Amino acid sequence: MHLHLRDGDMLRLVCADSAGPFAGAVIMPNLVPPVTSAEVLTAYRARILEAAGPHAAAFQPLMTLFFQHYTEAQLAAALPDLFAVKLYPHGVTTNSESGIHSISAADPTFRLMEEMGIPLLVHGETTGFVLDRETEFLSVYETLATRFPRLRIVMEHITTAAAVTLLDRFENLHATVTAHHLIITLDDVAGGMLQPHLFCKPIAKRPSDRDALLAAALAAHPKLMMGSDSAPHPREAKECCGCAAGVYSAPVLLPRLAQLFADHGALDHLQAFISGNACRIHGLNPPDKSITLVRESWTVPTRCGDGSGPTVVPWEAGSELEWRVKA
Amino acid sequence: MHLHLRDGDMLRLVCADSAGPFAGAVIMPNLVPPVTSAEVLTAYRARILEAAGPHAAAFQPLMTLFFQHYTEAQLAAALPDLFAVKLYPHGVTTNSESGIHSISAADPTFRLMEEMGIPLLVHGETTGFVLDRETEFLSVYETLATRFPRLRIVMEHITTAAAVTLLDRFENLHATVTAHHLIITLDDVAGGMLQPHLFCKPIAKRPSDRDALLAAALAAHPKLMMGSDSAPHPREAKECCGCAAGVYSAPVLLPRLAQLFADHGALDHLQAFISGNACRIHGLNPPDKSITLVRESWTVPTRCGDGSGPTVVPWEAGSELEWRVKA
C-alpha cells in the first residue's frame, strides 16, 4: 500500500520485483516533476504496466496524485485511474520540494476529496528534530480527522508507538507500516557502523516504538496495512557522502515478512496484514492471484541490476532468508 | 585532550595537522593491537614524534595506555612517558574489542592509578540503545567518582546535557567535548541526507544537548576541556556500506572553534577552553608555542592525502571558513 517505482531505467529494473508477487500496489507520485494531472497519471500508469511485462495482466497499479490544490474538474478527470492523493509537507523527504507549506490552506481540496470519496495519504512529518518529526505531526492528523470525518486518511509508514495509539482514536484514521520498521531501530542504522541501506524517512526509532508497531502488525490490527515504502536509489546515491533516504525492500518483502510472522507464531495474520486489511478498508478488488511461500533458505543477492542500467542494493543484501516465494 | 593519530601511513598523513598548531595532545591508545605496555607506548610515542617531523620539538604527545588490569610494576614502567589510562567498555567504539567487560572487577587498577596520580579517561557508553548509551553510563561515573575520590576522572567526548550537569556534582570528575558536538546534532547526521563524515561515537544528540554543551564551552566551564576526538578513517571506510565512526576534525579545529566562539562573542574564553583548563586541571606544562588566528576566509579541502597513501575527508570539507591559522 505504499510503493516507489520511480521511472525510466529504474522503473524497468524494479517493477517486476513488486508486480511479480503482488496483485496491486499504491504507487507514490513523487517523481521529478511530481504526478499532478490526469494526463501524467494515466501515462505513468501505462509505463508501469509496460515495465511489468508479463506480470501486467495480474498487477493493479493504484495511482496517486501528488497533493496540491485541485479543482473538482481536475480530480474528476483523474478519477478513472485515481486511487488516492498523497500529501507531502514541503521538504520532508525525497522529491518533496513541491510539497505544501500550509495544511490549513488546503481545506477546499480536502473537502472535495471527502465528497468524492478519494483517500488522503499523508507523509506525516514536521521539519523538526529528526526523532520528533512524526510525533510532532500527530496533532495535524487529529485536526484533519476531526474536521473531515468522512475523509479516509492514511498515516503513511508510521514509525512510533504514539502513532499506533492514535489509530484507535479516530474512525477515519488508518495507517501503513513498512516491513523494515517492524524489524529495525535506530541502532541498526547508526548504533554500530553506519548503514546507509537502512537509512530512510521517517528514520527508524526506538526499540519501544518498533515493538509497538510489531505488536500491532502481528495482531493484524484492523486499521494497519503493510506499505513497503520500497524505495530504490542507485547504489552511488546510497554509499556516498550525502546518502539518499530509502530502503529497497521489494525483492525480499514477502519472505522477510513470512519469516517474521512465523518467528512470532502469527502466520495466520500475515494475509490480513499484507492485503486483507487494505482490501477491506479501501474496498479494493485486485486481480485474482495467489503465490506460495515456502520454508526454503536462499541468499539475497548483493546487487540488483546487470550493469546496463542502475544498480540497487536490496534490503538484507547478502543475508540468508528462511522463506522464499515459490517460483 | 583527545586525539586519534592512528599509526603507519595514516599517522604520517594526519600527524602534522595536530602537531603543527598544537603544543600537545592526548593520544588515544586504541590501535590494533591496543597500547598496553611501557614498551609499546614508548615506541608509539617515538613514531609520533618522527611523523611530526619539524613540529616534534614543540609538540608533546601525552601518551595513554589502553585500560586493562595493570600491576604497579607495569604502570611504574610506563610512567616516564605515561599521561593517563583510557578505559573502553567492551565493544562500544572503533577498536574497542579489547575493552573491559566488568568495571567493578577493575578496582585494583583504579586504586593503583589513584595512588600513583594517573588520570582515568573513560569512553562512557553502555551497549544500550544508541541515544541512551551515555546517560545510561552516568551512574558508573558516579560510582567511580565516589569510590575513588582522589582519582582524577575524565568523561571523554560528552554529548548530553545530563553529562554537563554531572560535572558539577563530583570534584574529581572532569570532561572533554569535541568541537563538532558543540555544533552538530543528530539532524546534521541523519536529518536530511545521511552524512557519513559526521557519524561518530558517541553519536550527536538532540539540540537541547548540543545547546548545553555549547553553553558550558562558551563559558569556559572550569572542568570542561576541548578534546577534538579527531578520528581519521580512509575515505573508503566512510563512504560505503557500513561506515566507520569518527570525524576528522584536526585540519579545521582551531579556525572552526574561533568562528564559533566569535559568533557568540566569547573569543576571550577560547584559550581556556582549548588549553588553559586542561593545563590547570592536569598540571601540564607544554612547550611554549603560540599561533595566531586571523579572520580571513578559506575553503577547506575536500580531501587530505596525495593519493600515495590513505585519503581522508576532513570535517567541513569544501566549506568556507571565516578564520584561519596564520602561516
Residues above pLDDT 90, as percent of chain A: 94
- Beta-strand (E) ranges in chain A? 24-27, 60-66, 82-87, 120-122, 153-155, 173-177, 224-226, 293-299, 320-325
Question: pLDDT tens across A285-317, in order?
Answer: 999 999 999 999 999 999 999 999 999 999 999
pLDDT tops 90 at residue A99: no
* Closest-CA residue to A316 (of A252, A268, A271, A262): A252
- Contact: A239, B244; criterion CB under 8 Å: no
Q: How far is B314 from chain A (nearest CA, A)?
A: 12
The number of CA neighbours under 13 Å toward the Cβ of B44 is 30
pLDDT recorded at residue A104 = 79
- Beta-strand (E) ranges in chain B? 24-27, 60-66, 82-87, 120-122, 153-155, 173-177, 224-226, 293-299, 320-325
Task: List the single residue in B with minimal CA-CA distance to A202.
Answer: B191
> Which residue out of B194, B198, B199, B311 would a mutagenesis test of the A interface target, given it has the greatest number of A Cβ atoms within 10 Å?
B194
- Contact: B194, A242; criterion CB under 8 Å: yes
CB-CB contact of B177 with B157 (8 Å): yes
- Contact: A195, B242; criterion CB under 8 Å: yes
Q: How many Å is the Cα radius of gyration of chain B? A: 18
The predicted model scores a pTM of 0.95
Question: pLDDT tens across B69-117, in order?
Answer: 999 999 999 999 999 999 998 877 777 777 777 887 899 999 999 999 9
- Give contacts of B185 with chain A, Cβ < 8 Å: 129
Write out the three cell numbers for B57: 620539538
Q: ipTM score of the complex?
A: 0.94
pLDDT tops 90 at residue A100: no
Phi and psi angles of residue B125, each rounded to the nearest 5 degrees, phi first:
-135, 145
Residues above pLDDT 70, as percent of chain A: 100
Question: pLDDT tens across B209-251, in order?
Answer: 999 999 999 999 999 999 999 999 999 999 988 899 999 999 9
DSSP letter string, A2-66: -B---SHHHHHHHHHHHHTT-SEEEEP---SS---SHHHHHHHHHHHHHHHGGGGGG-EEEEEEE
Residues of B annotated as part of the active site: 229
Which residue in this structure is represented by grid cell 569535541?
B178
- Give contacts of B242 with chain A, Cβ < 8 Å: 193-195
pLDDT recorded at residue A162 = 98
Question: pLDDT tens across A50-86, in order?
Answer: 999 999 999 999 999 999 999 999 999 999 999 999 9
Helix then strand then coil, % of chain B, to nearest 5: 40, 15, 45
Please report the domains of chain A, with CATH numbers, ordered by start residue: 8-291 (3.20.20.140)
Q: Could you tell me the sign of the dihedral formed by the alpha carbons of B130, B136, B140, B141, in that order?
A: positive
Question: A266 at the B interface (CB within 8 A)?
Answer: no
- Describe the crossing of helices A8-19 and A38-52 by its angle, rounded to 10 degrees: 60
Write out the three cell numbers for A113: 476529496
Taking residues B190-216, report their average pLDDT.
97
Question: A321 at the B interface (CB within 8 A)?
Answer: no
More confident residue, B89 or B146: B146
Mean of pLDDT over chain A: 96
Q: How far is B249 from chain A (nearest CA, A)?
A: 16
pLDDT tops 80 at residue A112: yes
Taking residues B139-166, report their average pLDDT.
97
